[in-house]
């Protein structure tokens, strides 16, 4: 089974995409922020990483993303 790491902070999008991916035979793993995405990528060794760009802690470019004031 192919493993996909979904780097997404919106719970509704996480749930929808995980359901769609599972339905199509993929093993989906969710990381809600950049730090967890890096740790999970090392642990899970996914075949593909789907990522959001504007994320907490580290953005999709793996740079610190400033918090809104």
Q: What's this model's pTM, rounded to 2 decimal places?
A: 0.78
Whether 15 shows a pLDDT value over 60: the answer reads: yes
Alpha-carbon distances of 63 from 8, 44, 58, rounded to whole Å? 15, 22, 5
- Residue with the larger pLDDT of the pair 17 and 35: 17
Token digits for 68?
A: 């809104």
pLDDT tens digits, one per residue of 38-63: 899 999 999 999 988 777 677 666 66
- Domain positions in the chain: 10-51
Token digits for 6?
A: 């979904």
pLDDT, residue 66, reads 59
């Amino acid at each position: 089974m192919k493993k996909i790491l979904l780097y997404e902070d919106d719970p509704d999008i996480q749930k929808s995409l995980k359901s769609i991916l599972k339905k199509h035979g993929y093993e989906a793993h969710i990381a809600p922020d950049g730090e967890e995405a890096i740790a999970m990528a090392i642990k899970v060794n996914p075949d593909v990483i789907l990522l959001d760009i504007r994320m907490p802690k580290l953005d999709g470019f793996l740079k610190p993303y400033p918090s809104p004031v």
